[in-house]
């Protein structure tokens, strides 16, 4: 009985008369993610202040249906603060014809972004306005010399377009 139920479920999932090997595989990068291909690779922060280092990786995942960025930043101890490490994860995906991204970090922040790719080598991640919360904007721009510029801006609650730079960085592809 259990084996028959499993067989019926597989037929429903896979399609009658169709083996798993015959099913088309979604290996191709969806067109919606194509404008973000310039980000794919391993990146190392450059021109960082003394005692700071960082790196991040953008890679396709889930058979090319999403792009995952993992990031780490290390800060040496100073007179003002102890040594620290920051890690985060950004998952970029297409949903109902729009690019979106979800961000999670080691400081318990969660940010939901809408993704805009205004032109080649440029992408902006922007959170929805909420009068009671800060709004965030993350931007990447590729320079002709291969350097990737990044900025992270914050707009205070009640001022959704009042973005002020919080962090900026430069990175070079290492592989």
- Ranges of the chain with pLDDT below 50: 1-29
d(CA 2, CA 128): 48
- Token pair in block for residue 76: 């040496």
Q: Given this model, what pLDDT does residue 30 score? A: 54
d(CA 67, CA 32): 11
State the pTM of this model.
0.81
CB atoms near residue 99 (< 10 Å):
21
Q: Is 121 helix (H, G, I), strand (E, B) or coil?
A: coil
Structural domains of the chain ordered from first start: 25-173 (2.40.128.20)
d(CA 101, CA 119): 18
Query: 100, 97, 145, 142: which is closest to 120 by C-alpha?
Result: 142
Q: Given this model, what pLDDT does residue 175 score? A: 74
Cα separation values, 42 from 30, 39, 70, Å: 21, 9, 10
d(CA 25, CA 22): 9
- Token pair in block for residue 28: 């191709």
């Amino acid at each position: 009985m259990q084996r028959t139920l499993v067989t019926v479920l597989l037929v429903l999932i896979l399609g009658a008369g169709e083996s798993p090997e015959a099913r088309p595989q979604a290996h191709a990068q969806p067109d919606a993610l194509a404008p973000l291909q310039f980000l794919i690779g391993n990146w190392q922060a450059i021109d960082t202040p003394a005692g700071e280092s960082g790196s991040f990786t953008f890679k396709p995942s889930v058979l090319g249906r999403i792009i995952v960025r993992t990031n780490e930043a290390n800060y040496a101890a100073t007179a003002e603060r102890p040594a620290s490490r920051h890690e985060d994860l950004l998952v970029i995906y297409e949903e109902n014809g729009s690019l979106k991204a979800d961000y999670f970090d080691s400081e318990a922040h969660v940010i939901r972004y809408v993704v805009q790719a205004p032109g080649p080598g440029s992408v902006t991640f922007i959170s929805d306005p909420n009068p009671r919360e800060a709004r965030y904007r993350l931007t990447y721009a590729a320079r002709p010399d291969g350097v990737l510029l990044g900025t992270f801006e914050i707009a205070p609650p009640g001022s959704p377009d009042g973005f002020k730079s919080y962090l900026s960085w430069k990175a070079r592809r290492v592989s």
